[in-house]
Amino acid sequence: MQTAARNKSEGAASGKIWNAAFISIFIANAMMNLGQQMVNTLIAKYADYLGAAATAVGLLAGLFSATALFFKLFSGPAMDSFSRKKLLMGAMALMAFCYIGFGISSSMPMLMFFRLLEGTARAFTATGCLAIASDTLPAEKFGSGIGIFSLAQGACQAIGPTIGLTIYRYIGYNNTFFLAAFCVALGVIATGLAKIEEKEHKQFKITLSGVAAIEAIIPAILLFLFVGTYFTVSSFIAIYGTDMGVVNIGLYFTVYACVMLVSRPIVGKLSDKFGVVKVMIPAAICFALSLFLISIATSLPMFLVAAAIAAFGYGTALPTLQALAMKCVPSARRGAASNMAYIGQDLGNLAGPVAAGFVVEALGYRLMWKFMMLPMAAVLVLLLVWNGKIRTIESDFQARGNS
């Protein structure tokens, strides 16, 4: 059996974050996420436009997570066995095809089919991007580097819905889906231009440790709670704002983006200096507060205040936890660790909107937003319980360096 071996990137060896490989994968990640986020908000609104019930809207919003979870049986081992670059390019191309499929869909069954197929692509895209980016970073700047890298994802999570919600008014749902496919296609090109050194690979084999690194279970659970809550916001806030008579609710995502772009690099440095737990506790509190403000909001300014506070909550928690997942294992197993992190996120994507949809039908939107504060309470409890284990993970990573 061949052993996995990869050269340290020039950036990791020299202590630089902004090296050529990092820049290429940063751009690819940005274009892919821009297309994803344009779709994520519009797919729920499009289903509502087609007459789907709230539970069906919630199911469609998170449906891709079902196939994403299944195909993670293959994506983790594949990322640690074959060319991460080629796998990522193929997965992005499949994602672009699915968005074209959304554009030609005229019924819920068609939408659900392409949403499920999209999950196949997502099983490889996020895992590949995070694993490749991690290999380019020096250990002493790891948290900062992941924080910077995640700006592409975070900014697109914020501006993508605004762009999608604005553009569809002029060119319609279908053409907006085509535009999202074009953005992802640009990501394929950027990935192809990345100069990533890869040497020998181990034989492909599906094992439990290859599919998901159990060492990264703590960040995966915390990601499940955060992502499930955030995906509820991105799936339902456009519908909720419209029902409330709020004009330009898409500005929620714009404000979120602006605040997050400032806060996220700072938080990455704070995480490197003070540790994960001291960053995550205020993040969970801020996110819970933003949900409470949404539940009592009656005007656009109140929604925008909630967006700013959410940027200090979810906006800073995501890269901090992703970096923690990468710290749990050596470089050769980052495909499995990335898989574990995204399994947590996929489960959150699936469970959050579905649970919220049931609460909406039973209790209404206002109580649903307050109900979604419960996962943040669980995060606070778990951080206190796992404080010692998280500190050990961080100290072990520093001891071995980014290898």
Instruction: Yes or no: say if 6 and 197 are a contact pair by the CB < 8 Å rule.
Output: yes
What is the share, in percent, of the chain residues with pLDDT greater than 70?
A: 89
Instruction: Yes or no: say if 141 and 397 are a contact pair by the CB < 8 Å rule.
Output: no
Q: What is the mean pLDDT of residues 273-295?
A: 91
pLDDT, tens only, 191-219: 888 777 665 566 667 776 667 788 889 99
Instruction: Yes or no: say if 321 and 340 are a contact pair by the CB < 8 Å rule.
Output: no
Whole-structure pTM value: 0.71
Whether residue 384 is predicted with pLDDT greater than 80 in this model: the reply is: yes
Given pLDDT bands bounded at 50, 70 and 90, which one contains residue 23?
A: confident
Q: Is 225 left (phi over 0), alpha (psi -120 to 50) or beta?
A: alpha
Question: What's the chain's average pLDDT?
Answer: 82
pLDDT, tens only, 348-366: 877 888 888 888 888 888 8
Given pLDDT bands bounded at 50, 70 and 90, which one contains residue 175?
A: very high
pLDDT, tens only, 123-153: 888 778 877 887 777 766 777 777 788 777 7
- Confidence (pLDDT) at 296: 92
CA-wise closest residue to 339 among 231, 196, 207, 159:
207
Rounded Cα distance between 200 and 21, Å, is: 19
Rounded Cα distance between 353 and 77, Å, is: 29
Whether residue 291 is predicted with pLDDT greater than 70 in this model: the reply is: yes
Token pair for 257 = 């983006």
Token pair for 148 = 């910077």
3-class DSSP string for the chain: CCCCCCCCCHHHHHCCCCCHHHHHHHHHHHHHHHHHHHHHHHHHHHHHHCCCCHHHHHHHHHCHHHHHHHHHHHHHHHHHHCCHHHHHHHHHHHHHHHHHHHHHCCCHHHHHHHHHHHHHHHHHHHHHHHHHHHHCCCHHHHHHHHHHHHHHHHHHHHHHHHHHHHHHHHHHHHHHHHHHHHHHHHHHHHHHHCCCCCCCCCCCCCCHHHHCCHHHHHHHHHHHHHHHHHHHHHHHHHHHHHHCCCCCCCHHHHHHHHHHHHHHHHHHHHHHHHCHHHHHHHHHHHHHHHHHHHHHCCCHHHHHHHHHHHHHHHHHHHHHHHHHHHHCCCHHHHHHHHHHHHHHHHHHHHHHHHHHHHHHHHHCHHHHHHHCCHHHHHHHHHHHHCHHHHHHHHHHHHHHCCC
- Confidence (pLDDT) at 262: 81
Dihedral of the alpha carbons of 90, 35, 225, 46, in degrees to the nearest 10: -120
Instruction: Name residues whose C-beta falls within 8 Å of residue 350's C-beta, 6 or more positions apart in sequence.
Output: 62, 63, 65, 66, 69
Rounded Cα distance between 173 and 178, Å, is: 9
Question: Tokens 């703590």 map to which residue?
Answer: 218
Question: Tokens 């196949």 map to which residue?
Answer: 120
